[in-house]
Amino acid sequence: MDLRSDTVTQPTLAMRDAMTRADVGDDVYGEDATINALEQRVARWLGKEDALFCSSGTQSNLLGLLSHCRNGEEYIVGQEYHTYRYEAGGAAVLGGIVPQTIEVEADGTLSLDTIAERIKPNDPHFPITRLLAFENTHAGQVVSQDYFAQARSLAEQHGLKMHLDGARLVNAMAATQLTAAELAAPFDSVSVCCSKGLGAPVGSLLVGPADYIARARRWRKMVGGGMRQAGILAAAIDYALNHHLERIQDDHDNAKWLAATLQNLCVNSHIGVSDARTNMVYVTLPSLEFAQSLQRFMEENKIKVGAARKLRLVTHLDITRHDLERFTVLFEEFLKTQ
Ligand SMILES: *Cc1c(COP(=O)(O)O)cnc(C)c1O
């Protein structure tokens, strides 16, 4: 049992079977039929012109930023967003793109007033502001479409583009009952991950206008992401879109159950348990030492959790309700030893 992340899922036997039967070719020559079909499918799904298969969400976001901004241009981004904090500074290192970070609000948004203050006037002192980069879901939280509509009108007033890191867009879909195209509508470009809740082993897609995706394709080659018979991976994603999309709601239901059960166990304790945020529950523990001994205790019982004071528990394809029952029984047992 591994509750650290939804990236830990194992490809199912049926998924592996679909992979063995994939029609493949050399994708750098544009000859992989399974990749071509997947890119078309995902572009249509998100209501955009074109899509590009990428090796990871980090690569997809990187190509996304590189294709919007040139050297010396700037993107405005949340301090805690993945495209700034968790991608090793790739946009700055490889693209000379300047990040202008802003603190993320409790609801996962960036203050529009602060964004407006940070947009640079045309002056040789300043980098050229080009792009607003957002995230949905952020730390499991769904960001409201109302907010994105307002951000869009601000972006348009200033001639800026908008990129969405939609690593967990499928979780936002399940939570809001909106379509992928509705969620993607305020954005020029979107990155979606297929190796998280969808349960494919590898791959993300970048979607956007055709000329933008053509630029991203060149960047992908440059950073070594041009893959050959990659259709074997696209087949896994195709399978996931057909068979794992509907069940995302199960992960959210499981997270709800987990949050409610832990909240019950933790009343009158020094432990705070968040409500479920899509497929995540956050548990605030009294100290790092407490977190580390909880991790050791769970490890002895063959359960993997992180060791942070603010512990993130993530539900996914390989976590059943029965697993969570066992986890909460052990959690209660651990509390008694403290
Ligand atoms: C996981 C994740 C990504 C992409 O990560 P990779 O591991 O490179 O696929 C991007 N953004 C967010 C918010 C994520 O959680």
Q: Of 243, 262, 282, which residue sits at a domain end?
A: 243
Amino acid at 114: T
Among protein residues, the one with the nearest Cα to ligand 1's atom 4 is 57
Residue of 193, 202, 220, 279 best suited for mutating to test ligand 1, as the one with most atoms within 8 Å of CB: 193
* Residues 47 and 181 placed together within one structural domain of the fold: yes
Residue 44 pLDDT class (50, 70, 90 cuts): very high
| Cβ atoms of 198 and 47 closer than 8 Å | no
* Residues 127 and 236 placed together within one structural domain of the fold: yes
pLDDT attached to residue 209: 98
* Residues 180 and 293 placed together within one structural domain of the fold: no
Write the pLDDT tens digit of every residue in 173-222: 999 999 999 999 999 999 999 999 999 999 999 999 999 999 999 999 99
Range of the domain at 315: 248-336
Q: Assess whether the C-beta atom of 279 lies below 6 angstroms from ligand 1.
A: no
* Residues 123 and 235 placed together within one structural domain of the fold: yes
- Distance of CA 266 from the midpoint of ligand 1 (Å): 31
Among protein residues, the one with the nearest Cα to ligand 1's atom 15 is 167
Q: Of 181, 213, 243, which residue sits at a domain end?
A: 243
pLDDT attached to residue 221: 98
Q: What is the CATH number of the domain that holds 262?
A: 3.90.1150.10
pLDDT attached to residue 177: 98
Helix (H, G, I), strand (E, B) or coil at 116: helix
Note whether residue 169 is domain-resident: yes
Note whether residue 1 is domain-resident: no
| Cβ atoms of 262 and 67 closer than 8 Å | no
Q: Assess whether the C-beta atom of 82 lies below 6 angstroms from ligand 1.
A: yes
Residue 31 pLDDT class (50, 70, 90 cuts): very high
DSSP state of 198: T
Residue 232 pLDDT class (50, 70, 90 cuts): very high
* Residues 253 and 237 placed together within one structural domain of the fold: no
* Residues 136 and 161 placed together within one structural domain of the fold: yes
Ligand 1 atom closest to 135 (CA): 13
Q: What is the mean pLDDT of residues 20-30?
A: 98
Q: What percent of the chain has pLDDT over 70?
A: 100
Q: Of 181, 216, 243, which residue sits at a domain end?
A: 243
pLDDT attached to residue 156: 98
* Residues 296 and 186 placed together within one structural domain of the fold: no
pLDDT attached to residue 285: 97
Residue of 53, 58, 79, 135 best suited for mutating to test ligand 1, as the one with most atoms within 8 Å of CB: 58
Q: What is the mean pLDDT of residues 301-322?
A: 98
Q: Assess whether the C-beta atom of 278 lies below 6 angstroms from ligand 1.
A: no
Write the pLDDT tens digit of every residue in 79-95: 999 999 999 999 999 99
Residue 64 pLDDT class (50, 70, 90 cuts): very high
Q: Assess whether the C-beta atom of 312 lies below 6 angstroms from ligand 1.
A: no
Q: What is the CATH number of the domain that holds 133?
A: 3.40.640.10
91-115 exposure pattern, b = at least 16 Cβ within 10 A, e = fewer: beeebebbbbbbebeeebbbeeeeb
Residue 159 pLDDT class (50, 70, 90 cuts): very high
For residues 149 and 163, what is the distance between their CA atoms, to the nearest angstrom?
13
Number of domains into which the chain is organized: 2
* Residues 29 and 88 placed together within one structural domain of the fold: yes
Residue 8 pLDDT class (50, 70, 90 cuts): very high
Write the pLDDT tens digit of every residue in 282-300: 999 999 999 999 999 999 9
Listing DSSP states for 215-230 in one string gives HHHHHHHHTT---SST
Residue 233 pLDDT class (50, 70, 90 cuts): very high
Among protein residues, the one with the nearest Cα to ligand 1's atom 2 is 167
Q: What is the mean pLDDT of residues 232-239?
A: 98
Q: What is the mean pLDDT of residues 252-257?
A: 98
Q: Assess whether the C-beta atom of 54 lies below 6 angstroms from ligand 1.
A: no
Q: Pairing state of beta strands 272-273 and 128-135?
A: unpaired
Ligand 1 atom closest to 196 (CA): 1
